[in-house]
A = this chain, B = another copy of it.
Amino acid sequence: MNITDFQNIIERTYGERDRTRGVPSTVAWLAEEVGELAQAVRKGNRDQQLHEFADVLAWVATLANQMGIDLTDAAARYANGCPTCSALPCAC
């Protein structure tokens, strides 16, 4: 799946509702989901881990939508390897 397609489907699924709640609430939800991912990584099974990785991606995407950030533009920071040393693998 394309990052842009994922961001668009999250916009169509949750954009209006999440925008109504506002950015601070979305940041709080993202933090909550990162906590759930941390727990799934520590003691969850594979299905739970997949679920929580998906939810973190979805909350990052809806926050980006509210901020007018294109995640494909963001991801481009790493397109050529490490953005600090420009090496692949990173040689920092």
Contact = CB atoms under 8 A, between A and B. Distances in A.
Interface of A: 1-3, 6, 9-10, 12-17, 23, 27, 30-31, 34, 37-38, 41-42, 46, 49-51, 53-58, 60, 63-64, 67, 69, 71-79, 81-83, 88-90
A62 to B, nearest CB: 10
A13 B83 CA distance: 10
Majority secondary structure of chain A interface residues (helix, strand, loop or mixed): helix
A34 B56 CA distance: 11
Contact of A50 (B69, B79, B90): B69
Contacts of A67: 41, 49
26 contacts: A1-B2, A1-B3, A3-B3, A3-B6, A6-B78, A10-B78, A13-B78, A13-B81, A13-B89, A14-B89, A14-B90, A16-B89, A23-B41, A27-B38, A30-B38, A37-B63, A41-B63, A49-B69, A50-B69, A50-B73, A50-B77, A53-B64, A54-B77, A54-B78, A57-B75, A60-B60
